[in-house]
């Protein structure tokens, strides 16, 4: 097999992300972009690329890290996030479940079939709230091509068409307090993100979350990798099919504010407040 040329490979990664930023108009001049920085390879690459693009596209760049409280895992990610933010001269704001909700993910994980359920709800909540408080115009995440089609097919399998509005490289601002998300790695496969990190000697946090194995996403990931190994290009075809249809359901979303916390929500009580109530009841019963 022919060895990959590191310079050409890095150019391919940069050009693919740059095309997504330009083609889908992810960033307007003068905006402030906040990157959700976990310290994993995807978010580190996102920060790296946006830091290279900031002069050309004329925007301000900051980052936020969320410590969910996963012992033996998250601390190394936060360490990597601090190092990369500092190397790239980007201000990093750190938040944690413990500080915000008074529990860690480890404290509540047994109440759920998969740790990813509460993790996703509370992390999204805190990321958006923090990015909004920082004055962000856009919240950049490290979602790559694999993440996107896994999410798409998971929603498809559950007939959860409302979630289709959350796909695509750029989400609309559907509420003044909901910071629109952008995904510069939208067309970059996860495997290529890993190759980029290894090739460039980037010391990212490669460890796997101890809760990831129980998720539907992990099963979908295996399934798609299997398909891709049998028929190369399957993942990209799925993304392209989705790209042609994701405009359709966007108009149906009606966003209000949670009557408890005031954060944006399509329901009268947001998912985070609903889960906080259940967790509080669970803790009260344990006393
Ligand atoms: Fe959270 Fe699941 Fe990701 Fe672990 S794998 S960090 S529990 S979403």
Q: How far apart are CA 101 and CA 122, in angstroms?
A: 9
Q: How far, in whole angstroms, is CA 46 from its chain's centroid?
A: 10
Q: How far apart are CA 217 and CA 219, in angstroms?
A: 5
% of the chain at pLDDT higher than 90: 70
Contacts of 162 (CB under 8 A, 6+ apart): 249, 252, 253, 266
Token pair of 130 as six digits: 């923090």
Q: How far apart are CA 236 and CA 95, in angstroms?
A: 35
Tell whether the model's pLDDT for residue 132 goes beyond 60: yes
- How many A from CA of 219 to the centre of ligand 1? 14
Atom of ligand 1 nearest to the CA of 119: 1
pTM over 0.85: yes
- Tell me which residue has its CA closest to atom 6 in ligand 1: 209
Q: How far apart are CA 61 and CA 183, in angstroms?
A: 15
| Nearest of 159, 220, 154 to residue 190 by alpha carbon | 220
- How many A from CA of 43 to the centre of ligand 1? 14
Which of 212, 213, 214, 221 has most ligand 1 atoms within 8 Å of its beta carbon, as the pocket-test mutant?
212
Q: Residue 121 has what pLDDT?
A: 96
Is 266 in a helix, a strand, or coil?
coil
- Tell me which residue has its CA closest to atom 7 in ligand 1: 116
- Tell me which residue has its CA closest to atom 8 in ligand 1: 116
Token pair of 99 as six digits: 């500080």
Q: Are 218 and 116 in contact (CB under 8 A)?
A: no
CB 63 near ligand 1, within 6 Å? no
pLDDT tens digits along 58-107: 999 999 999 999 999 999 999 999 999 999 999 999 999 999 999 999 99
Q: How far apart are CA 154 and CA 24, in angstroms?
A: 24
Tell whether the model's pLDDT for residue 167 goes beyond 90: no
- How many A from CA of 6 to the centre of ligand 1? 31
| Nearest of 244, 238, 212 to residue 225 by alpha carbon | 238
Token pair of 243 as six digits: 């790209």
Residue pointed to by tokens 């709230």: 129
- How many A from CA of 205 to the centre of ligand 1? 14
């Amino acid at each position: 097999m022919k060895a990959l040329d590191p310079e050409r490979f890095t150019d391919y990664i940069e050009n693919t992300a740059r095309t997504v930023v330009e083609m889908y108009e992810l960033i307007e001049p003068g905006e402030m972009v906040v990157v959700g920085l976990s310290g994993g390879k995807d978010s580190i690459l996102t920060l790296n690329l946006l830091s290279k693009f900031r002069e050309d596209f004329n925007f301000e760049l900051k980052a936020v890290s969320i410590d969910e409280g996963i012992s033996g895992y998250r601390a190394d990610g936060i360490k990597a996030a601090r190092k990369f933010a500092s190397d790239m001269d980007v201000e990093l704001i750190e938040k944690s479940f413990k500080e915000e909700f008074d529990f860690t993910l480890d404290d509540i994980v047994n109440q759920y079939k998969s740790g990813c359920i509460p993790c996703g709800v509370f992390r999204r909540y805190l990321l958006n709230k923090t990015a909004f408080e920082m004055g962000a115009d856009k919240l950049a995440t490290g979602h790559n091509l694999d993440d996107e089609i896994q999410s798409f097919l998971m929603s498809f399998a559950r007939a959860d068409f409302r979630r289709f509005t959350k796909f695509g490289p750029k989400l609309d601002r559907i509420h003044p307090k909901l910071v629109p998300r952008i995904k510069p790695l939208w067309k970059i496969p996860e495997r290529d993100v890993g190759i980029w990190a290894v090739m460039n000697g980037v010391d990212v946090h490669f460890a796997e979350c101890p809760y990831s194995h129980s998720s539907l996403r992990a099963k979908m990931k295996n399934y798609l990798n299997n398909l891709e190994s049998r028929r190369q290009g399957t993942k990209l075809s799925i993304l392209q099919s989705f790209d042609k249809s994701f405009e359709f359901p966007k108009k149906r979303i009606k966003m209000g504010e949670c009557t408890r916390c005031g954060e944006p929500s399509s329901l009268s009580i947001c998912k985070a407040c609903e889960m906080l109530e259940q967790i509080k009841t669970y803790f009260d019963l344990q006393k």
